[in-house]
């Protein structure tokens, strides 16, 4: 199964970067690289995660009242089963941190053996949900919520491990742990934990440190420093297998048992999916397949419950440690489960040498680094910090699921605020007032808009300039009522819709159902007739006001000039450096910058009737060609013909008046007419076929210019034929060998 974000969607992001070995750093989790990758990266990382997972698993089991062995069973199953089958390769699964309180309540009501069976049922529910492809819904979470989740988990980890670092026993809540920080301090534990923190921070500065992950080195050095000191160490059950309790059917009402099963399934699923999305933010490897991950978590829960283990879920603490330790593939996750099984059954005495304070130091740094200050600045600049802060505070104060729900609510409210608050600018003009409204207009934002409109003095000429992409009926009625009242009191109101015609459609009773593409075309390339039909801009000179060109110039200075002024100022400073000479017809419907998506300074243009390049010497065209090639050193000369060309019609019909300037000019196209009668693009109408042949002929004519011929031979210049279909708004390339058309391909 694919490890992409979703099956058959997108590509994995494999951007190799140097491996970072210190905790909490974003690292590369690249594609599998064979045994060498596993040995260099995944094996050491699995040991680090294994060292972290053992005390966490034991602690979760103790906190729920389950046998300690239940936590270790879940760690083994989560590592091997979920790690091998999961869709989030860097995520490490084990006993569910968010289930501690819930599991404790289920054990108190049904007993431990029945709780294990409930876990089996929850796993089957998760498998069904994953196969139904509901896992990807977690992707709709705002990044601010995900990073807030990371920060909240980081604070929770840091505060809890600070208690262990001081020699105490951490409690179940952050606030409880804050109270324990003021208790007695164990100098030995503080020393061991301090050594672990120092090594973790300083190790990356050591040359060649990337070959050994900092967390592993920190644990080893801190363990050595704690030799002979009276500090708490990892404590494993003496007879591990004797504590295994197999599942039994719970006794109770079906609704109550079903509710317990669904609760375990939903909470562990949400915790796993949220963790997978969060861990994805920490590495550059393949993105998580959340549906596959949900199926894997379900299988792991079914297996863990069958063996007498706690509910399983993916964990941010374990996953972030895995990434920070340099893991590259899922082998690290699987191996960590193997190490737990091997060491608990055969080498438990070695684990019991590790001080808990050493592990606490590693987790403390991991937690602190999950609270990213640069991320906070970024979210603040984008206006998303509120959702981040609410999520982090909710996770710290209430729990993972509750914090995420609060964060989602905050993000939704922020989005609703943005959607319902349009931009309104009111400015006085020589002949009245102009109100510029941008955004989406819905009923929730109407109150502020109407208040702003009522500040305009009565009896004036008002232009409502609408740059909106949605207008609901409530907003339309509010604006229309204000307009009618303002007109009734002696004023004059014009509605000037710059983009889509929402207001006029609403006035005709056409309902607005959803946002649509902007139409008519924005003014910077729309014809005057599209936006000057129903408005009149009063300028100081009334006669000039009637000229649409003057209106267009006024509109340019008012709205477009501020946008293009920086580009034009730069072009004025450095001079023109176009790379293309564009020869096209004088037809008013052909706009070179529009059909080439170019701007000022891009095209050196020559326009004439029929886009001709005379071979017998036309001073205007010849001078432009020579200047473009010899002075500007253009790299391309494009000759662009078009459909419905008047010059081509005159050539086909011979309608140019004898003796006229037009008739004299079109003699330069006689070679095109001869070429037209040769076999060519027979599928086109006669006028269009001549237009294509004419383009091909003008390319040949260009080669009669010595400067063009020399530049083409030197490889510094290329000639391109183009054809613009006006009615279809499509551009084609002209193949001069067969006088045919080809689609434009990049």
**What strand order describes the sheet that includes 603-608?**
603-608, 580-585, 636-642, 718-725, 730-735, 740-743
Question: What are the phi and psi torsion angles at 579 (to 5°)?
Answer: -105, -5
Angle of CA points 189, 193, 199, to nearest 5°: 150
CA distance 17 to 71: 36
Residue of 585, 602, 689, 739 marked catalytic: 585
271, 313 Cβ separation under 8 angstroms: yes
632, 604 Cβ separation under 8 angstroms: yes
Beta-bridged to residue 466, according to DSSP, are 437, 497
Residues with Cβ within 8 Å of 692's Cβ and at least 6 positions away in sequence, in order, are: 641, 680, 681, 684, 723, 734, 739, 740, 741
**Catalytic residue status for 496:** no
**Catalytic residue status for 642:** yes
CA distance 152 to 322: 19
**Catalytic residue status for 605:** no
340: left (phi over 0), alpha (psi -120 to 50) or beta: alpha
Residue of 42, 587, 602, 739 marked catalytic: 587
**Catalytic residue status for 663:** no
Residue of 136, 283, 499, 642 marked catalytic: 642
Q: How many CB atoms neighbour CB 266 within 10 A?
A: 15
162, 403 Cβ separation under 8 angstroms: no
Beta-bridged to residue 508, according to DSSP, are none
Q: How many CB atoms neighbour CB 537 within 10 A?
A: 19
SS3 of 637, please?
strand
SS3 of 463, please?
strand
**Catalytic residue status for 645:** yes
Cα distance between the two ends of the chain = 33
SS3 of 80, please?
helix
CA distance 194 to 198: 6
- CA diameter of the chain: 114
CA distance 671 to 677: 10
Residue of 492, 589, 667, 718 marked catalytic: 589
Residue of 4, 291, 434, 645 marked catalytic: 645
Q: Is the peptide bond before 520 cis (omega within 30 degrees of 0)?
A: yes
Catalytic residue numbers?
Answer: 585, 587, 589, 642, 645
């Amino acid at each position: 199964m694919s490890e992409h974000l979703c099956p058959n969607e997108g590509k994995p992001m494999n951007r190799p970067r140097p491996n970072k070995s210190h905790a909490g750093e974003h690292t590369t989790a690249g594609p599998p690289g064979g045994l060498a990758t596993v040995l260099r990266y995944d094996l050491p990382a699995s040991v680090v995660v294994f060292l972290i997972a053992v005390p966490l698993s034991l602690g979760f089991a103790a906190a729920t009242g389950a046998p300690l062995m239940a936590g270790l069973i879940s760690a083994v199953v989560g590592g091997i089963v979920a790690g091998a089958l999961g869709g989030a390769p860097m995520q490490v699964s084990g006993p569910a941190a968010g289930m501690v309180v819930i599991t404790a309540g289920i054990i108190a009501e049904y007993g431990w053996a029945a709780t294990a069976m409930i876990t089996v049922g929850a796993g089957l529910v998760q498998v069904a949900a994953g196969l139904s492809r509901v896992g990807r819904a977690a992707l709709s979470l705002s990044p601010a919520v995900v990073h807030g989740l990371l920060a909240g988990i980081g604070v929770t980890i840091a505060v809890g491990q600070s208690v262990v670092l001081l020699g105490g026993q951490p409690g179940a809540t952050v606030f409880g742990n804050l109270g324990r920080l003021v208790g007695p301090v164990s100098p030995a534990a503080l020393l061991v934990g301090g050594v672990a923190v120092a090594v973790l921070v300083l190790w990356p500065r050591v040359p060649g440190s990337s070959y050994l992950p900092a967390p592993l080195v920190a644990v080893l050095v801190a363990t050595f420093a704690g030799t002979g000191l009276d500090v708490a160490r990892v404590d494993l059950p003496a007879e591990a297998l004797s504590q295994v309790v197999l599942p039994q059917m719970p006794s109770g009402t079906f609704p109550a048992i079903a509710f317990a099963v669904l609760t375990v399934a939903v909470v562990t699923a949400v915790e796993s999916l949220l963790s997978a999305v969060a861990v994805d933010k920490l590495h550059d490897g393949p993105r998580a397949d959340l549906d596959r991950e949900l199926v894997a978590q379900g299988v792991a829960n079914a297996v863990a419950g069958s063996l007498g283990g706690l509910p399983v879920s993916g964990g941010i603490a374990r996953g972030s440690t895995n990434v920070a330790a340099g893991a590259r593939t899922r082998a690290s996750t699987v191996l960590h489960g193997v190490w737990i099984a091997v060491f608990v059954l055969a080498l438990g005495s070695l684990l019991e040498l590790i001080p808990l304070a050493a592990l606490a130091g590693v987790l403390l740094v991991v937690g602190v680094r999950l609270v990213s200050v640069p991320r906070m600045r970024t979210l603040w600049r984008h206006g998303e910090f509120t959702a981040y802060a609410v999520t982090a505070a909710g996770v710290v104060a209430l729990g993972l699921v509750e914090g995420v729900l609060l964060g989602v609510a905050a993000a939704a409210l922020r989005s609703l605020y943005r959607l319902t608050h349009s931009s309104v600018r009111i400015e006085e003009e020589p002949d009245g007032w102009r109100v510029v409204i941008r955004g989406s207009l819905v009923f929730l934002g109407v109150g502020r808009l109407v208040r702003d409109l009522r500040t305009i003095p009565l009896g004036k000429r008002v232009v409502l300039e609408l740059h909106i992409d949605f207008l609901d009926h409530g907003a339309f009625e509010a604006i229309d009522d204000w307009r009618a009242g303002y007109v009734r009191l002696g004023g004059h109101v014009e509605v000037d819709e710059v983009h889509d015609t929402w207001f006029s459609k609403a006035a005709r009773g056409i309902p607005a159902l959803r946002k649509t593409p902007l139409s008519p075309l924005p003014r910077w390339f729309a014809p005057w007739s599209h936006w000057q039909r129903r408005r009149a801009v009063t300028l100081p000179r009334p006669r000039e006001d009637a000229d649409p060109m003057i209106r267009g110039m006024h509109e340019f200075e008012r709205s477009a000039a501020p946008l293009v002024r920086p580009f034009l100022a730069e072009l004025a400073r450095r001079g023109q450096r176009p790379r293309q000479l564009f020869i096209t017809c004088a037809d008013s419907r052909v706009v070179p910058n529009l059909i080439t998506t170019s701007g000022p300074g891009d095209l050196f243009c020559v326009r004439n009737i029929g886009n001709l390049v005379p071979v017998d010497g036309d001073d205007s065209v010849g001078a432009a060609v020579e200047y473009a090639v010899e002075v500007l050193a253009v790299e391309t000369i494009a000759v662009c013909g078009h459909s419905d060309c008047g010059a081509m019609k005159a050539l086909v019909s011979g309608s140019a008046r004898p003796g006229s300037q037009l008739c004299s000019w079109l003699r330069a196209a006689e070679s095109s007419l001869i070429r037209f009668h040769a076999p060519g693009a027979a599928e086109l109408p006669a006028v269009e076929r001549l237009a294509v042949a004419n383009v091909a002929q003008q390319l040949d004519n260009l080669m009669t210019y010595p400067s063009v011929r020399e530049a083409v031979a030197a490889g510094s210049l290329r000639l391109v034929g183009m054809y613009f279909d006006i009615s279809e708004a499509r551009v084609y390339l002209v193949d001069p060998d067969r006088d045919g058309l080809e689609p434009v391909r990049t």
